[in-house]
Structures are given as structure tokens and as C-alpha cells.
A and B are shown apart, each in its own frame.
Chain A
Amino acid sequence: MASINYATKEINCKLVYYGPGMCGKTSNLQYIHKASAAKCGEMVSLATPGERTLYFDFLPIQMAEIRGFSVKFGLYTVPGQVLYNATRKLVLRGADGVVFVADSQWEIMQENVESLQNLKDNLTEYNSKLEELPYVIQYNKRDMSEVAPVAYMDYLLNTGGVPAFEAVAVDGRGVYTTMATLCRYVIRDLVHRFESGSF
């Protein structure tokens, strides 16, 4: 749930990067942090020596000014490993938008499906539904040798027909497009809820 500070004229939104282990969630944030250092704050990351996120990554970023309010997004990643579900659930709490990062490799298809289902299950525990939350899908690691066709991944993961993007997060390909698209939908949703009085 976004927070609005009328005194400082700030809107803070929470975006969560969700997906199976090693799919490139942290790589997304690292690229944004590296390439947009002027707009970003300090990136907080807690990872194992194997570069697996242990708790979560956090990157604050200032994006735009909407109706006189400065909009800030807090980008979070979740640990992808199955056993860290409690942490995932905790990070997911109060999210305003989700980027589901899928690994495009054939071998990871089942993990992608399971992770998406896990996302839905965790949102259900917060009395929410994925369909109610602005979210986009990123098909990451498109540069790998054995990747599934986008049509098949769409069939597996994008049942709602939401925006989906091919990406190579380590090179930055598709990273900004994914985030900017989600940010726009989050802003639209926020403004709509604010105007309709449901905020």
C-alpha cells in the first residue's frame, strides 16, 4: 500500500521483483542502481557467497512528479529459493506492484510455474489477488542457448495477458522497459484509487 506524505509532498510506492531462484531479480536492481545512480539511493543487499539473495534487496528510486507530488519507488526483491517462503511473504506485504521475473531456460519452466503459483498463494494470504495488483512479466535470460519460445511462456505464465517483456538483465536489456511500464500502471492505479476514494 503506497504511503502519501502531504507535508513533504511525497508518494512512496513499493514494487516487488518476484520469481524463482537465480532468475535475475537482483540483476535487475543492480543494473538500475548502476545505470541510474543519480536517481537511486543506496542499494541494500544481503546475499550468500553464491549470489543468492538471503533476505531481500532494496533500492529506493525517485521517478517522477505527479500532480505536485514527488513519486518514489522502493524496489524490493524476494529470495527465490523455495524454503524462504516466510521472507517472500513478508516482503510481498503492502506491495503496490509486482514484476514477475521468469527464467527463459527450458529447464526452469516448472520452477517458473511453481513460483507464480507461490506468488498467488502468498497474495491470497493477504486477502489479495494477483489480478487486482498491477504486475508485469519479464522473460529474463533471453541470451541463453536453450530458451523457451515466448508464446509458450506466455501460455504458461501470462494467463491475464499483462505486459510481458523479453530481457537480459545483466546487460540491461528490457530492464527499464519492464520497470517503467509497471511504474506507470502503479501510478494509474494509485490515482484511480485516490480519486475514487478507495485509497
Chain B
Amino acid sequence: MTTTPITRPERTFGILHALTLGTLLFMGALCAIPLRMVLPAVQNLPLPAFTAAALWGVEVVLYALFAGLWSRQALLTVLGIGLGVATRLAANLLIFLLLRVELGTLFKTDNTYWLFHLWSIVLTGLIFLLAYKALIEDLCAILVPTATTATASKKFAFNDKAAAPAAEATAPPLPTAKPVKHVAPSATMTPIFVTDTKKSEEKVSTLLAPPEGFVPVTPLAGVTGTISLPAKVVLDSVPEAKNLLLANSTVHVPMSYLLPQLPRGTAWLTWQQVFERGLGVTEQGEARKDTEYQGRWVRIPPKYFVPQLAQSYFTAKKTPPRWMSLPEVPQEAEIRFE
């Protein structure tokens, strides 16, 4: 992308901006008056000559740093010092004029108004920071042509229409990628979803899978019985298997897989576990093939298997908690509603 140089109006805007904000100088000076009024003792505080000189030195370095940081040009750095000191003197002059202090003290370093000077430094620094940034940049653009590009590059500009075709013509050709032939996926493209219809407001389709943190069970040793379930239960989880199962047929699920899952409220078995004993044979006497469903989960709600189990499976020794054996409080009988 090419950049356009700063236009003339932008330069004048910077200068005008500086002049406008220069009124802040006057306002600042006005603000300085109350300080002197409130603190009359300030004028009696002694300030050694070398301290005043050091403060002036620090101030000058700060101006140079401001200007240097913005312009990154040696010339502008020096210019910044000049502008800073000039502004500082102007601020002092205004302040002293307003305070009716004789001008002779302005350039003396052994005066007693050090706090006043400190205030003036802060004020001038702020004004310098606000007002002269644009001015310095503009002067930089006028005086140092190379600096113009550096400043302008920070600004956004559209490409010149006339220059654009030339820029395109000179641009290096873009690397071209080899065409890739996409192979059709071998797996089925039909996603398996189960829609929860029992909660009307939550009709969100989710991929059927056991809940988070599910730990597959190991079959109970020594349990050989089966539980009869309608094939519909399996088809609810694996609907594509309708070519293998009739909805009104019965599936016999090994109890050894169901019993360990009783405390879960719902049993989750894999297709292999459900059809551990195979799917039987076709009319032609061949074994039914179900390899594509091997990794699928089958959700078995408790209503299909719990009623078939003896109640003895649901009796477990219970240990009542400590608070249940606490003695009654006499007045607790008052706790009633009716």
C-alpha cells in the first residue's frame, strides 16, 4: 500500500490547534493566582541557585524528550527545547504580570518563588504536551521531508487510483496452490440424533451418548439371565438398524450388564453388549451382519427392565444419619400448618 503525504490543510490545522490551545496558558496562569494568595509563605521559602538550575535542566530535557519522541529527528528535538523554554518563559511572564511581580525576578535563579516555579513547570509541560505535538509534527513535515513519510505512514490513506494499476503491475505474482481433488467420505453422512420430546421447550437434538463421566461397566460374574426388551428401545437409539430389527420384536439383553447399572437410573450398553449372542440368521441361513453398528450406544430406560427384576435387588442396608436419632424438642409439635 502506498501512502499519501500530509496535505497543506493538515499542517495549518496543527498550527491553529496549537494557537487555540495556547489560551490554556492564560487559563493556567489564572489558576496560579490562588496558589500565591492561599500560600503567602511560599515566597519566603529559600531555594538554592543550583537547585533552580537543576530544575531548569530537567525541564529542558523533558521538552527535548517530548519533541524527540514524537519526531525521532535531531532537528526537531532541538526545536522542542526551544519551544518548551519559550512556552515556559511565556507562562512565567504571564503569571508574573498577573501577580504584578517585577520582571527582573523572572530570569533569576535565586528567587524565592520555587514552589511557584514548580507549578509553572507542570503547567507549561502540560500545555506543551497538549498544544505543540501537532505543531512539532507539522514543522517536522515542512522542515524535514524524510520525516514527513515517517509521520504520514501512521495515518490511513486510500491508494491513489492512478497509481494502483502500476502498483499491481509491479507486484510479484502470488504463489498458486496445486488443485486438490476432494475424495468423497466413505462413512455415512446421516447423523444420528435423538430428539428429546418430553420437554417441549427443550427440543434440542443431541448426539446420543452416555452422560459425561460415564464409566463402562464390567459384567457381573455368575449372572446368566436375560431381560426381554422391545426392539423399539434399541431402535430409539440406533434408528438405522430397522433393516435388522423389527420394532415389535423382542431383544434379550444380558442381565449381567444391566444389574451393575441399576444405581444409575438408566442403563447404557453398547450394541455388542446388547447383542452379545448375535442377531440370529437370515432366511437364507446366513448370519446377520451388524458391523456398522458395533460402536453405537443403546440407552435403556429403567421402565423397561426394572419391573422385571425381583424387589430383592432394590433392598440394601441403610445407615440412618446421626441427626435422625436426636431426641425430640418438646415444642417441635408446634411446627404444623393445618
Give me the interface of A with B, judged by CB distance under 8 Å. 22, 32, 35-36, 39, 50, 52, 63-67, 71, 106-107, 109-114, 131-134, 146, 148-149, 151-152, 154-156, 158-162, 176, 179-180, 183-185, 187-189, 191-192
Residue pair A148, B264 in contact (C-beta under 8 Å): no
- B263→A113 contact, CB < 8 A: yes
Contacts of B259-317 to chain A: CB distance below 8 A: 262-266, 301-303, 306, 311, 313-316
In angstroms, Cα B325 to Cα A192, docked, is: 11
CA gap between A123 and B199 in the complex, in Å: 29
A147 to chain B, nearest CB (A): 9
Chain B, residue nearest A22 (CB):
B199
| Complex contact B318–A160 (CB within 8 A) | yes
CA distance A25 to B73 in the complex (A): 74
Which residue of chain B lies nearest to A97 when distances are taken between CB atoms in the complex? B323
Check A110 against B323 for contact (C-beta < 8 Å): no
Q: Secondary structure of the A side of the interface?
A: helix
Is A180 a contact of B324 with CB atoms below 8 Å? Answer: no
Contact of A107 among B198, B306, B326, B336 (CB under 8 A): B198
**Across the interface, do A148 and B306 meet the contact criterion of CB distance under 8 Å?**
yes
Which B residues are closer than 8 A to A by beta carbons? 198-199, 201, 211, 262-266, 301-303, 306, 311, 313-316, 318-324, 326-329, 331-332, 334-338
B303 touches A146 (CB 8 A): yes
A106-B303, A131-B321, A160-B318 known; A180 vs B337 contact (CB < 8 Å): yes
Q: How far is the CB of A123 from chain B (nearest CB, A)?
A: 13
> How many residue-residue contacts, CB under 8 A, span A and B?
114
* Distance between Cα atoms of A151 and B301 in the complex (Å): 17
A5 to B336, CA, bound (A): 23
**Residues in chain B near residue A154, CB distance under 8 A:** 314
Which secondary structure dominates where chain B touches chain A?
Answer: loop
B335 and A160 contact, CB distance less than 8 A = no
CB-CB under 8 A for A162 and B199, given A113-B263, A188-B332: no
**Shortest beta-carbon distance, B214 to chain A, in Å?**
11
A113: which B residues are within 8 A, CB to CB?
263-265
Residue of A nearest to B262 (CB): A155
Instruction: Give every chain A residue within 8 A of B314 (Cβ-Cβ).
Output: 151-152, 154-155
Q: A148-B306, A176-B336, A189-B326 are in contact. List 18 more A-B contacts (CB 8 A).
A: A36-B337, A50-B201, A71-B335, A107-B303, A133-B323, A149-B306, A152-B314, A155-B316, A156-B263, A160-B320, A161-B318, A161-B324, A162-B324, A180-B336, A185-B324, A185-B326, A187-B329, A187-B332
Once the chains are docked, how many angstroms separate the CA of A192 from the CA of B332?
13
User: Are A192 and B306 in touch, CB under 8 angstroms?
Assistant: no
* Contact across chains for A187 and B337 when beta carbons are under 8 A apart: no
Which residue in chain B gives the minimum CB-CB distance to A64? Answer: B334
